[in-house]
Structure 1
Amino acid sequence: MISLADLQRRIESGELSADAAITQTRDAIAAQEKTIGAFVRLDEKARAQQAGPLRGIAVGIKDIIDTADFPTEMGAAIYRGHQPRADAPVVMALKQAGATIIGKTTTTAFAANDPTPTLNPRNHAHTPGGSSSGSAAAVAAGLIPLALGTQTGGSVIRPASFCGVAAIKPSYRLLPTVGVKCFSWTLDTVGLFGAGVRDVALGLAAMTRRPELVVPSKTAAPRIGVVTQAFAGAPEPSGAAALQAAARAAERAGATVREIAVPEIVAEAWRIHPVVQEFEAHQSFAWELAEHYDAMPPLLRGRLDESKGGTPAEYDAAMDVTLRARQALAAVLTEVDVLLTLSAPGAAPEGLASTGDPRYNRLWTLMGVPCVNVPTLVAEGGLPVGVTVIAGFGDDAKALAAASFVEDALKG
């Protein structure tokens, strides 16, 4: 993989020019893209900007995010050839930081269930996860150092775990979702993929102009609460092994680690996440369902057909649970610095028919808290499995620092 931190260091020292860094990226894409299929559009003539902290950094943009220089087709036939007039604010933030937008990465149709043909670079017989399939795969294959994705259920953290890369789903609305195809306005969150935790921290810091997000060279040993999410069902052996390995490594490195049981209202929030998601999705896709029902992606169409009976009263009750759960979770996070939990049930499933199960991600998306995937172990078949580090709402710097601590502990 390509480390953003290493590229920055080499460019700043004069060891590597920004133009040469982009050329290296183009060469890597030329060598592997036909096999992996991570992109739907590429800028074959991309050039480096010569100013900004991300100069020389090539970035892939998930194809539900508007770009003025590329079509935004959302993985759906309904929007084939759709050309936005303007970049989404998150794309402009990257450009203003000096990044080069190298292309659009694959997404499941409308960032939902219908998968892409993108392969997992670690094992081509397995899914890379979704919905941010191309973004995770492109970073994992060493094609690009940074990519944007989105998460409504588990679409950043899960593919990061399956592909063995670091990723952050930041606090809700730290990155604007204007210019991103809406699925659920309460849940949709823009996130980043990189080779390691420090890489995504540098990318997020540059985009937001928040230097406090950069992980310091030395991080303090955090107080970690392990959450097994028993309410979401039992994980596979590889998922359980990853959580245990991360907890033990962190403890050996000096962290205080203990298991925490979350309040029942938090478990109830896990159960009502689909109520919020589907009720809002029916409004977000009202035009597509009314005008292009037969052309809707079949798995998403079936999902929306099944949930069309949702009522405003059910939605309001779910939102009340959400508010109370967020308050309860904030209280839990006064007892520890961060939570440590599963990123996925286990390793990536075989085949491309499914992008995997988001059941261990969706609660934290609903809570709006920052989540960082840390690659943890490699299971049978060369398939990675990660864990998630979670901090309180707005404590993205704390989440990144603690995740970096766990990452370093696992290497030790």
Structure 2
Amino acid sequence: MYTKKSTLELFHQNLGTADSLLQCNLAQSLDRFAKVEPHIHAFIHENNREERIMNEIDDLSMRYLGQDQPPLFGIPVAIKDLIHIKGLPTYAGSNLPAAALTGQEGSFVKRLREMGVWVTGKTVTEEFAYAGPIPTRNPHNWNHTAGGSSAGSAAAVAAGICPVAIGTQTLRSVTAPASFCGIVGFKPSYARIPMDGIILLSPSFDTLGLFTQDMASMECISAHLIPGWKRFRSDRKPVLGIPNGVYMTLMFDEIRNAFQDQIRKLEGQGFTIRTVDMPWSDELIYGDDLLKFVQGEMAREHEILFEQHKGCYGPAVRDAILAGQMIEEIELDGYRKGQISLRNDLLEIQQREGIDLWVSPAQGGTAPLSGGRTGWAGMTAIWTYAGLPTMSIPSATVNDMPLGFQCIGSYGRDEELIYWSKQLSEVLNSYQLTL
């Protein structure tokens, strides 16, 4: 249905002049948008979109006329409609009036602009990144979902409309869409990127995430966009850990078979694999505590808006807020303390066992048919709860749909995660498993 073009190709094409780079990326993005957006519905409708884009392009041209261009100059970026963008309304996938939601650009968007990008549009999200029907379709098969709340951002990259997109993750909303759409999805360590200028769902979970088509591109943009980035290199292979317990049962048989084949491939290439007992209870993985935590924080985030606009909320979000209102603050404090405790316990196990990365399938299945569920939290939520950085890399095709391989790093050591995920990606994609 579409032809992928890697981010790096877009980065390095037509590097003769500022204007030629801008015009080339503009033409390509507009052309792809016209061809595929009517089918995948990745973007929020925008009146006078091309006029707004041309104004951004003109501003970039004038600002850097005769000057050195910033590292991401001329790159089109799609941004999830929870994130405030100057000149564009914020709806957050809801029926609330934009005037009640729209705010000022935050520090991350300002960083994007300093790097020389232009905004190709705001992307579709589930209502307040929690739940609700969305129109976005998977570029690999329009009958399937593109994932959860960052679906629009993932689909835009997978369809070649833009080489970079921004999303957010609370429980699975970067990892699942990346896996389903066959692209790279990176959720940095909790609080590594400031969250100002964003409508939050659950402040103890919420993290900005990035989408690209390949690991080399993810390495490039992360170095430019994530505060305090420090180059990491190693002359050894990482030691990989696989959790014992109920965690590795939360997947369909064909996903487990694909993952086992991938692990055998990695072992054959000299990677050390260790299966480890984890510092969490099976009930925490399988129960509803993490969902209750999210709902409790969501109720507090929406306290004023919900009182003023209750009738505008969809049923799933409304029910979640009402449930969250019943959760006592002491219970939420317990969950927050548990986050730090789990983070420390995981680090202790990694140090004791010599594990550099945890690995698993990125999702328990491939993209479901549209109109139903948009992903599974079982493989992702526990790592987000602990605040660890995670990466989904395209690595397999199962039942004619993409499947991501998830890598999980140590808290605050995102540079190591990206370096070693790139190494794993090169091995796994050298044979690209198809089942």
TM-score by length of 1: 0.92
Three-state SS of the structure 2 residue aligned to 1:158 is: helix
Give distance in 2, aligned partners of 1:384 and 1:298: 31
Query: How far apart in 1 are the matches of 2:9 and 2:382?
Result: 34
The aligned counterpart of 1:367 is 386
- TM-superposed CA distance for 1:274, in Å, is 2.2
Deviation at 1:394, TM superposition (A): 0.8
Give the drift of 1:13.
6.9
Mapping for residues 352-391 of structure 1, pairs under 5 Å: 352-380=371-399, 382-391=400-409
Q: Which residues in structure 2 correspond to 1:177-326 (within 5 Å)?
A: 177-208=195-226, 210=228, 212=230, 220-227=236-243, 230-231=246-247, 233-264=249-280, 268=284, 271=287, 272-326=289-343
Rg comparison, structure with higher value: 2
| Counterpart contact for 2:244–2:278, Cα < 8 Å | no
Q: Given the alignment of the two structures, is residue 29 of structure 1 paired with residue 33 of structure 2, yes or no?
A: yes
SS in 1 for 2:261: helix
Give me the whole-angstrom Cα distance separating, in 2, the residues matched to 1:121 and 1:163: 7
Greater Cα offset, 249-258 or 29-38:
249-258
Distance, in Å, in 1 between the alignment partners of 2:414 and 2:166 is 17
CA distance in 2, matches of 1:379, 1:403: 21
> Which of these residues, 12, 21, 38, is aligned with residue 9 of structure 1?
12
Find the aligned partners of 2:312 and 2:392 in 1 and give their Cα distance.
35
Q: Percent identity?
A: 28
1:44 shift after superposition: 1.2
Equivalent residue for 2:192?
174
Corresponding residue SS for 1:17? helix
Structure 2: how far apart are the matches of 1:225 and 1:57? 36
Give me the whole-angstrom Cα distance separating, in 2, the residues matched to 1:267 and 1:336. 24
The CA RMSD measured in Å over matched residues stands at 2.3
Q: CA deviation at 1:7?
A: 2.2
Secondary structure at the aligned position of 1:354 is classed as coil
- Is 1:44 matched up with 2:27? no
TM-score by length of 2: 0.88
Q: Kindly report which structure 2 residues correspond to 1:155-166, keeping only aligned pairs within 5 A, or say none.
A: 155-166=173-184
User: 3-state SS of the aligned residue for 1:407?
Assistant: helix
Deviations 1:68-93 (A, max 9, x none): 12111111111346674632222111
Q: How many residues were matched structurally?
A: 409
Instruction: Measure, in 1, the Cα distance between the counterparts of 2:98 and 2:333.
Output: 35
In structure 2, runs of 5+ residues without a counterpart are: 431-435
CA distance in 1, matches of 2:166, 2:244: 28
Contact 1:108/1:114, CA 8 A, preserved across alignment: yes
**In 2 relative to 1, CA 318–86 (structure 1 residues): closer, same or farther, beyond 3 Å?**
closer
Q: Describe the shift of the 1:220–1:13 C-alpha distance in structure 2 as closer, same or farther (beyond 3 A).
A: farther
* Distance across 2 between alignment mates of 1:14 and 1:408: 33
- Cα displacement string for residues 288-308 of structure 1 (whole angstroms, at most 9, x for unaligned residues): 221221211211112233343
Cα distance in structure 2, aligned partners of 1:253 and 1:301: 50
Report the Cα distance in structure 1 between the residues aligned to 2:285 and 2:363, rounded to whole angstroms.
18
Separation in 1, partners of 2:127, 2:38:
20
* 2:110 pairs with 1:92: yes
Query: Cα offset for 1:11?
Result: 4.7
Distance 2:100 2:118 in 1: 22
